[in-house]
Amino acid sequence: MAAKTVDAVLTGAVDLARAAAEEAAARPTDVGEHLGTVVEEDRVVSHRFAVTAPGYRGWHWTVTVARVPRGRVATVSEVELLPGDDALLAAPWVPWEERLRPGDLGAGDVLPFLPDDPRLQPGYTPSDDDEDAGLPLEELALARARVLGPQGRDEAAQRWHLGAHGPTSPVALASTSPCASCGFLVPLSGSLGQVFGVCANEWSPDDGKVVSFDHGCGAHSETDADAPPSLWPEPLPIHADALELVAPTDEDPKLEPVAPGDEVEGPAGDPLVAAMGADTEPEPTPEGDGPGEA
């Protein structure tokens, strides 16, 4: 590849290039020192100038000049503001339909149409092929072009069950009864109705929202119901109003320390007597009265 020749006319047109950059800049002072030239093609040279405007670190003005064959005058072709190797750049641009997140849609906003949405499938009368696709009979929608498919149902069920209206939310963990036994639960239709319903209690924090059957809150319709059975042993009841405080008197017997060999009186079968009797030494038997003696 032949080396590009240096064009003296275009290389020396620094003042012409600077004037073009200052005219394109917001302020003439935004054009800094001359950083050099780049030979683009024959009779085409680009001059680069530093950018002094705030926020444009590493950027430079690029002014391309050219001349006609055998011409002695340079003319400006274009003026650009280009980033350098260490320039401060903005984040990569992402299309609007890819930037959206759940909850971003506002009044008047319209989502882009997705002709091949994997969450939906045609809402036609099922045939043998449609049965393999998992289209339930209760979701036939002759008036709708598409209905929720298996992938859409699975994603919704997982999102709802793990969300704020599932069994792991703080309000559900503090509740004593699940939504499955609440009279304000309106079950959904279709396969999702086996696990989810809509709360219809205005006093509940989940009113008008989809809740799982194992969700719960303090606005249950049967708040007076007994606690469900548990494998944990129930604690002994404590009735403070049944306790009676009695002041001690001089006639009350006092416990005295018991030494080995002392007689301990108590009811037959008293475990305290049996325990203390086991710790005492047996009395010796008189000679001649022991077992085997005549």
Token pair of 174 as six digits? 């503090």
| DSSP codes of every residue in 47-112 | EEEEE-STT-TTEEEEEEEE--TT----EEEEEEEEE-TT---PPPP--HHHH--TT---TT--PP
Which whole-number Å values give the CA distances from 243 to 238, 239, 277, in the listed order? 9, 7, 33
Q: Please answer whether residues 64 and 40 qualify as being in contact, where contact means their C-beta atoms are separated by less than 8 angstroms.
A: yes
Domain region containing 179: 115-222
Q: Is residue 104 part of a domain?
A: no
Same domain, 156 and 215: yes
Which whole-number Å values give the CA distances from 83 to 41, 54, 76, 112, in the listed order? 21, 14, 20, 33
Domain edge (last residue) among 175, 198, 222: 222
Domain edge (last residue) among 36, 66, 83: 83
Q: How confident is the model at residue 238 (pLDDT cuts 50, 70, 90)?
A: low
Average pLDDT over residues 92-104: 79
pLDDT in tens, 257-279: 555 555 555 555 555 444 455 44
Q: How confident is the model at residue 28 (pLDDT cuts 50, 70, 90)?
A: very high
Same domain, 139 and 193: yes
Same domain, 154 and 212: yes
Q: How confident is the model at residue 148 (pLDDT cuts 50, 70, 90)?
A: confident
Same domain, 146 and 51: no
| Number of compact structural domains in the chain | 2
pLDDT in tens, 121-145: 777 655 555 454 555 555 555 567 7
Same domain, 127 and 38: no
Same domain, 121 and 210: yes
Domain edge (last residue) among 172, 195, 222: 222
Q: Is residue 91 part of a domain?
A: no
Q: Is residue 257 part of a domain?
A: no
